[in-house]
Structure 1
C-alpha cells in the first residue's frame, strides 16, 4: 500500500445539494478515541445513536444518527464512523470541518487539546471504495460495479450491476482461473520430466481440459458482452441527405420534440443526441447534419462532425426518402453516401437502411444494399418504429432472453479477448506434432494474468488510479 492509504480520511458521502438526509463518513484505524473526542461519548458497535453533533464549544451543529463500525466489519475494512444529519450543504460542511478539527484535538468546551487523529484528511474521489478493495472486502470487478450501479441508466443495468456487486461476475472469473491454474500446474509439472511429457499430458487429457476451459470462456465472454451493452448502450447515428426525415426520426424514437423539423434543407447544423432505452438497453440516438456538398461554412462544419460521429457509431441508420426514389440526382447522392460509408466505417459496424415516409409513398418498394438490414417506416405516424428498435438490438448483438447478466466494462471484454487469444495459441501448441511446452506454459501464464487484471489480482497501480478516480468523493 502507498503511505496515503494509512491516513484516516473523511468526506461528505451524499450527493451535493439539498436533501432530507446527508452523511459524513470517516474511515481509518483506531477511531474510538476520535469518536469520543468528537461526540463526547463512546458508541456501541453497529447501533444507531440519536444524539447532538457538537461544535468545538459544545453547541450542537445538528442532531442526527451516529453509527460506528469497528474493523474489519465495515465497508472499508477499517473503523468507520457515519454521521447522518439533515441534508443541507452548510450543515454537512460544518460537520466535516468539525471532524477535521476534532482530529487535531482543538481545545473547547466539549473537546481536549490532545491530537487524537493527527493525519485525518479529506478523501480523494473513490478512496473509500479503493480501501474496501485494498483491504479485501471486494475485488476490482465488484468495486467497478458500485460505480456502475450508481450510474445505471436503466432498471436492467441496475439489476446487472447489483449481480456484479454481489460477486456473480467475479465467481465466473474465479472459476476460469481455477481451471486455468490446474492446467498450468499440469503442464509445468511435465517440464521437469521431458522424456515423459507427451504421454503424461495425453493421459491427463490436457487437450480436453483446455477445450473445456475455452468453452467456459466463450460463455463468460457472451455474458460479458451483453453486460457491456447494458452499461455502455448502443450509439446509433442517423445519417442521410437533407430533408430525409432524420430529425423527425429522432423525435419519433425519443417521443419528444428534440430536434427542429422544417422543410428547409440544412436545418440541422450540429448533432442532437438523446438517450432512450429499448428492453432495458440504453440507446444513444444522434441526429446529424444532412450529408451533401455545401458552400455554407457553418453547414460544412456540421457535415464534418456528422462523419466523425458516423465513424464512431455502433450502428448507422442510413435514412432514405421514399418520396424521392424516382429522382436520379437523389438516388445518385444516396449511392455516393453508401460508398463513403463503406470506406469509412470500421468492419463489423452494421448499417440499417431506413426507408422513411411510407405514409406519403405507400406503393414504393425500394431495394437494399447487400449486407444491410432494411426497414420501412413513417417517422410521422410511427409505423415501423418497433421493427427498427428490434433491428438495432439485433445488430448490436443483444439477446433478449439472456438471464442472470452481470454488468461489464470495455476493459473486461478486452481482457477476456486477450485470454481467448492466449488459449488459442496454447491449443495450437498442443495440436502440433512436437509441442513446445515452455511456450504452452507461457501462454497459459499470460492468460491467467489477463484474467487476474479483471478482479485486480494483477492490477497495476496506474490502472487502479484511473478506475477509482472516476468515483464521486465520499464513495
Structure 2
C-alpha cells in the first residue's frame, strides 16, 4: 500500500453550505490521543457523546455529538472520529482546523483528505469492494428514485454477490481443466464425466442474466441523450416543454426563435432521458442562427437517438417537403445505422383533412398532449429499458464492458472445449481471462490508475 494511504486524514463530510448539522470526520490508526485532545476526554466506542468542542485556548467552538469507531469496526476499517456540530460553514472550518492543529502533537502526519479517500480506504481495507464503493457515489448522485433504489441494492452487495457466484462457478471449472492438463491421458474422459460442457453452458447462462441486469442498471445511471431536430416552427421547443412538463424553451410563431440548444433531463419510469432542443435546420444567412444550426448538427452527431420532428400542417407545401427530405438525407449520411432516427409528426390537432396519409411515424400534438404517451414508450424501447426493473442494481459502463469481455472469453472457451484435447491449454487461458474480467468489477484485478480515476470523482469527505 502506498505510504500516503497510511496517513491519518480529516475532512468535512457534509455538503458545502448551511445546514442543521455538519460533520467533520477523521480516519487513521491510533486516534486515541487526538480524541482526547479535541474532545477533552476519551470516548466510549460507538456511543454518541454530547460535549463542547473547544479550540486550543479552551474557548468553545460549538457543542455537539462525538462518536468514536475503533478499528476495524468502522467505515474505513481504521479508527474513525466523527464530530457532529451545527452545519454552518465557518463552524465546520473551525472544527476541522482544530483537528488539524491538535494532530500536530497528538497525531503526526494528519492531513486533509483527498476526494473519495475515505471510501478508497474502505475498499483498500476490505470493508467494501470496488462495485460497492462506486455505488456510494451513484447513490449520492442518483437523479431518480429508481436509480437511488438500484444504487442501494449495489451498495448492499447484490451486484457483487452475483459476480462472486459467477467467479466461484468459474473457479470450480478452472480447477477441473487445470487438473486434466496434469493428466493428459485421462483428460477427455475426466472432463466428460465432470460435465465440463454443462458447467460452461450454465456459466454462460448466468453471465447473460447478470449482463441484462447490469445493462439496465447502467441505463438507470447514465440515461440516454435524445436530440429533437427538424425545420423551424415544427414545434421542437413545444415538444421539449411538453415532455418536461414546464416552460423551458421560448415558443413563438417566429421561425428561428431557438438559436442555441436547450437541454433538460426528464425521467420516464425512472430512466433519465437527456432531451436536447436544437435550432431549426435550414439555410440561413443570419450569422447567429448559422452558429446555432452548426451546434444542432454537433448535438445530433453525439445523440443516442434523434427525434426528427415534422409539421403535419405543412405536408402539402412542396418546399417544406423538399427541405425535410434534404434533412433526412443528411441525417442518413451523418448517422448511418448507428443511431435510431424516429419520425415524429407534430400538430395533429391542427392538421388539415388527409394530412395523416403523409405521416409515416408517430403522430402527436405537443400542445394538447395527444400521442406523448406513445412517444415516451418509444423512447424507453429505444433505450432498451425493460419495465420489470425490480431487482436491478446500479451499474456503470465499465462494468458492462467487463461483462462483455467475460462473455467473449467464455465463447472462446466453449470453442476450445469443443476441440477437446487439441486446445485444453487455450481453454484454461480463456477461463483465466474470464475470471480477470469479472475481478475488474469488484476490484480483485484493478490497475492503480483506474482506482485513481474512480475515487477522485467522489466528493471530499466521502
Category of TM-score, reference length = shorter chain: over 0.9
Q: Where does residue 75 of structure 1 map in the other structure?
A: 75
How many angstroms apart in 1 are the aligned matches of 2:189 and 2:438?
29
Scaled by the length of structure 2, the TM-score of the pair is 0.97
Work out which of the residue numbers 394, 400, 403 in structure 2 matches 1:407.
394
Aligned residues: 461
Q: Are the aligned partners of 1:271 and 1:306 in contact in 2 as well (CA < 8 Å)? A: yes
How many angstroms apart in 2 are the aligned matches of 1:230 and 1:362?
40
Q: Where does residue 22 of structure 1 map in the other structure?
A: 22
Q: What's the CA shift for 1:394?
A: 1.1
The gaps in structure 2 that reach 5 residues or longer are none
Q: Where does residue 463 of structure 1 map in the other structure?
A: 450
Within 5 A, what are the aligned runs for 1:153-164? 153-164=143-154
Structure-2 change in CA distance of 1:198 and 1:231 (3 Å) = same
Within 5 A, what are the aligned runs for 1:5-16? 5-16=5-16
Q: Are the aligned partners of 2:64 and 2:85 in contact in 1 as well (CA < 8 Å)? A: yes
Q: Where does residue 284 of structure 2 map in the other structure?
A: 294
Q: What's the CA shift for 1:140?
A: 0.3
Q: Is 1:365 aligned with 2:356? A: yes
Question: RMSD over aligned Cα, in angstroms?
Answer: 1.4
Partner SS state of residue 157, structure 1: helix
Q: Where does residue 223 of structure 2 map in the other structure?
A: 233
Q: What's the CA shift for 1:299?
A: 2.1
Q: What's the CA shift for 1:53?
A: 0.3
Within 5 A, what are the aligned runs for 1:295-310? 295-310=285-300
Partner SS state of residue 22, structure 2: strand
How many angstroms apart in 1 are the aligned matches of 2:44 and 2:327?
70
Scaled by the length of structure 1, the TM-score of the pair is 0.94
How many angstroms apart in 2 are the aligned matches of 1:438 and 1:62?
67
Q: Are the aligned partners of 1:223 and 1:406 in contact in 2 as well (CA < 8 Å)? A: yes
Partner SS state of residue 119, structure 1: coil
Return 235-244 or 85-94, whichever deviates more. 235-244
Partner SS state of residue 348, structure 2: coil
Q: What's the CA shift for 1:433?
A: 6.5
Q: Where does residue 50 of structure 1 map in the other structure?
A: 50
How many angstroms apart in 1 are the aligned matches of 2:359 and 2:425?
52
How many angstroms apart in 1 are the aligned matches of 2:411 and 2:209?
16
Return 143-152 or 338-347, whichever deviates more. 338-347
Within 5 A, what are the aligned runs for 1:53-68? 53-68=53-68
Q: Is 1:186 aligned with 2:176? A: yes
Within 5 A, what are the aligned runs for 1:160-239? 160-239=150-229
List structure 1 segments (4+ residues) > 6 angstroms apart after TM superposition. none
Q: Are the aligned partners of 2:174 and 2:432 in contact in 1 as well (CA < 8 Å)? A: yes
Return 6-15 or 290-299, whichever deviates more. 290-299
Q: What's the CA shift for 1:431?
A: 2.5
Q: Is 1:315 aligned with 2:301? A: no
Q: Where does residue 285 of structure 1 map in the other structure?
A: 275
Q: Are the aligned partners of 2:71 and 2:77 in contact in 1 as well (CA < 8 Å)? A: yes
How many angstroms apart in 2 are the aligned matches of 1:10 and 1:117?
11
How many angstroms apart in 2 are the aligned matches of 1:333 and 1:295?
16
Q: Where does residue 85 of structure 2 map in the other structure?
A: 85
Q: What's the CA shift for 1:310?
A: 1.4
How many angstroms apart in 2 are the aligned matches of 1:139 and 1:284?
30
Return 142-151 or 301-310, whichever deviates more. 301-310
Q: Are the aligned partners of 2:234 and 2:346 in contact in 1 as well (CA < 8 Å)? A: yes
Structure-2 change in CA distance of 1:119 and 1:433 (3 Å) = closer
Q: What's the CA shift for 1:368?
A: 6.3
Q: Are the aligned partners of 1:311 and 1:346 in contact in 2 as well (CA < 8 Å)? A: no
How many angstroms apart in 1 are the aligned matches of 2:53 and 2:247?
50
Q: Where does residue 326 of structure 1 map in the other structure?
A: 316
Structure-2 change in CA distance of 1:192 and 1:347 (3 Å) = farther
Q: Where does residue 120 of structure 1 map in the other structure?
A: 110
The gaps in structure 1 that reach 5 residues or longer are 105-114
Q: Where does residue 250 of structure 1 map in the other structure?
A: 240
Work out which of the residue numbers 377, 381, 385 in structure 2 matches 1:390.
377
Partner SS state of residue 399, structure 1: coil
Q: Are the aligned partners of 1:21 and 1:85 in contact in 2 as well (CA < 8 Å)? A: yes
